[in-house]
Amino acid sequence: MFSPSRQTHDTPTDLRGPGDYSVGELILENQWLRHKEGFLNRLLMAMMLLTRQQSLVSGDLKEALRDITRMAALSVEVQRVSIWFFDETRRTLSCACIFDGRESLHGEGARLDASDYPDYFAEVHRGRVIAADDALSDPRTREFREGYLSPLNISSMLDVPIKNGGRLAGVVCLEHTGPRRIWQPEELQFAAFVSSLVSLTIEVSERLSGALAR
């Protein structure tokens, strides 16, 4: 299985010629390349399947978010994927949907207040991706350490902003448990794709609701 925690080869030590590698190194490199190819193919397949989900165009936002979180968690092989939306004040995030892969269950309703997590909210309000390989010590996420990360054995977080109508609407959060995980560029791109799907789903739901109200 492809290990997302493997560092990419972009250091000066990789400037060696083919003859400078041992047989064992070449075998390991070839195995990793095959595993990475399989991982990328899985992400591409997940993206294709997600775009075909009927729930995304049905106007049923709750069902769409359930499909998105479940497929995202299975595709990237993370323990938990959740979707959070801001209230009107932009000071509170409410969990609209969370999928826990350990129990294969969905949930909702948790709340985060800016007063409790000021550093995290400040970063989210900037509209930036938070790729916290070491979430326990990363200054953007360490506020969650005692009450959330440590009890649930969450080591790494990847949060991507959700936009709606050009405005920040919330975040998609991927949470990895176990050993620290170094997020790969492909995983960041996939998370951004998931965020765009959520935005599209919100737009479809609002349009259908508006049409029914007229």
CATH number at residue 202: 3.30.450.40
- Residue 20 located in a structural domain: no
How high is the pLDDT of residue 22?
A: 57
Neighbours of 164 (CB within 10 A): 16
- Residue 5 located in a structural domain: no
- Residue 107 located in a structural domain: yes
Number of domains within the chain? 1
Q: Which residues pair with 160 in a beta bridge?
A: 172
DSSP conformation letters of 48-63? HHHHT-THHHHS-HHH
Q: What is the pLDDT of residues 98-129, one digit of tens each?
A: 999 887 889 998 999 999 999 999 999 999 99
The answer to whether the CB of 108 falls within 8 A of the CB of 93 is no
- Residue 149 located in a structural domain: yes
Please state, in angstroms and rounded to a whole number, the distance separating the CA atoms of residues 88 and 129: 22
Q: What is the pLDDT of residues 42-64, one digit of tens each?
A: 666 666 666 676 676 677 888 88
Span of 30-44, 64-78, 165-179 with lowest mean pLDDT: 30-44
Q: Which domain holds residue 121?
A: 38-213
How high is the pLDDT of residue 37?
A: 55
Span of 75-79, 113-117, 207-211 with lowest mean pLDDT: 207-211
- Residues 6+ positions from 106 with CB-CB distance below 8 Å: 66, 69, 70, 97, 98, 99, 100
Mean pLDDT for 2-13 is: 38
- Residue 29 located in a structural domain: no
- Residue 8 located in a structural domain: no
How high is the pLDDT of residue 3?
A: 37
How high is the pLDDT of residue 166?
A: 85
How high is the pLDDT of residue 131?
A: 97
- Residue 150 located in a structural domain: yes
pLDDT for 23 beyond 60? no
Give percent above pLDDT 70 in the chain: 70
Mean pLDDT of the residues in the chain: 80
- Residue 153 located in a structural domain: yes
Categorize the per-residue pLDDT at 196 as very low, low, confident or very high, splitting at 50, 70 and 90: confident
How high is the pLDDT of residue 5?
A: 38
Please state, in angstroms and rounded to a whole number, the distance separating the CA atoms of residues 208 and 82: 24
